Amino acid sequence: MSAPESRVSGPTAPPPEASSQDGPASVAMSENGVSESVQAQRSTPRLPRRSRLLINAATVLVTVVFSYIALKGINLREVWHALRTSDYVWLIPALIAFGLGNVARGLRWRSLFAPGRRPPPGPVLNATMIGYFYNSILPARAGEAARVLVLNQRSSAPAVEIIGTVVIERLYDLIAILVIFFAAEHWLAHVSWFAAAAVAAIVLAGLIVAAVVVLAVYGDRPLRLLLRPLGRFSLFSGERLERTIDELNHGLSGLRHGTVALEAFLWTIAAWMLSALCAYFVSVSFHLHLPFASGVLVAVAIGLSMILPSPPGAIGVFEGAALIAMKAYGVPHSQALPYALVLHAVNLVPFILVGAILLQYNSRHRGPKAAFSLEVPEVAG
């Protein structure tokens, strides 16, 4: 909302002051008349060229390896027969479980904010689905940046605090996957990578315990030490650096407060069990006659594979992980591949459809802090 032009007698006119009617939704302007949020975007450094090349090379390598796993020894006639004879009615409960799982993930993200600072559920779910939409069409998990932008624009949550919750969220996913894996190990088919998962769980548990102890003993002093170099940049000078530290400290509430951690962990377990239920319903549609535990193993395998760099929509990586889990149950490769393809479609198409609808909605219903339209996040390459 700009102030009306005023006539001045001097050769130059001072910049007009912001109207008091703008209130908290007005955009803070810098001395050169550019919004701080836009300045922050312009000053964000890009990854060095060598780092981008390494990330791209790793993405291609992972995709090729998992695609080879998915396509090795395939009988296309059997694949087509399995797709043609499936009972797709079972995809209805699979889609319901999938949808509820994503609602649980959105509520888990909201629960990671400190009580009293949590955004409304609507903007959180909106940003969650926009993030998954961009992850489905862009590489390098570009959706993580997109959902931070959307939630920042559609709520009062500061961007730095949101980033802190997103980082912690990935830890909760990994912890929940490993907890489910070990808790259900008695009912799961034997897998050769159990020992590697156990080592990863022990290392991760040790790192989390160390982080919790450090934050409990020293408060925000470790954050101040880590973020001190940012003080060299004008964007983080003075009070801005203090505000950044305070916001990040709030964003790490999932590591600092037991009640926040417990609530977020329960939501995370619920989300992954619903993913397992979705995978199980898809197996029923293909008449594979597998126990519910097979859905758990598929969810665990796919969840662990998402740690790796992957192409848009995790194409190839998703199928390879699902086939590795199906191999443990002795499902022939040519029967497991159509199952993996349909399961991937169930986990991909809704994100694209719902995300596209929400983008249209958001373009017509601006958030209180939408100083600029959301652009496709820039990705390495």
Q: Please, are residues 255 and 215 in contact by the beta-carbon 8 Å criterion?
A: yes
Q: What is the pLDDT of residues 269-314, one digit of tens each?
A: 999 999 999 999 999 999 999 999 999 999 999 998 888 777 888 8
Residue 315 vs residue 341, higher pLDDT: 341
Q: Is 279 helix (H, G, I), strand (E, B) or coil?
A: helix
Average pLDDT value for residue range 3-23: 43
Residue 232 vs residue 114, higher pLDDT: 114
Greatest distance between any 2 Cα atoms in the chain: 86
* pLDDT for residue 1 is more than 90: no
- Name the pLDDT band for 62 (thresholds 50, 70, 90): low
Average pLDDT value for residue range 236-256: 85
Q: How many residues does the chain have?
A: 381
Q: Please, are residues 176 and 300 in contact by the beta-carbon 8 Å criterion?
A: no
Cβ atoms within 10 Å of 260's Cβ, excluding its own? 20
End-to-end Cα, the chain, rounded Å: 37
DSSP per-residue string spanning 59-72: HHHHHHHHHHHHHT
At residue 47, the pLDDT reads 55
Residue 100 vs residue 78, higher pLDDT: 100
Average pLDDT value for residue range 131-158: 92
- Name the pLDDT band for 48 (thresholds 50, 70, 90): low
* pLDDT for residue 32 is more than 80: no
Name, of 11-15, 107-111, 365-369, the range with top average pLDDT. Answer: 107-111
Q: Please, are residues 120 and 107 in contact by the beta-carbon 8 Å criterion?
A: no
Q: Please, are residues 323 and 69 in contact by the beta-carbon 8 Å criterion?
A: yes
CA dist 171 to 14, 69, 271, 314, 341, Å? 50, 27, 14, 19, 28
The sign of the CA dihedral 367, 99, 164, 54 is negative
At residue 97, the pLDDT reads 98
Name, of 78-87, 97-106, 198-207, the range with top average pLDDT. Answer: 97-106
Q: Please, are residues 230 and 236 in contact by the beta-carbon 8 Å criterion?
A: yes
* pLDDT for residue 68 is more than 90: no
Percent of the chain with pLDDT over 90: 50
Helix (H) or strand (E) holding 240: helix 239-251
* pLDDT for residue 376 is more than 50: no
* pLDDT for residue 360 is more than 90: yes
DSSP per-residue string spanning 307-365: TS---GGGTTHHHHHHHHHHHTTT--HHHHHHHHHHHHHHHHHHHHHHHHHHHHHHHHS
Average pLDDT value for residue range 200-219: 80
- Name the pLDDT band for 11 (thresholds 50, 70, 90): very low
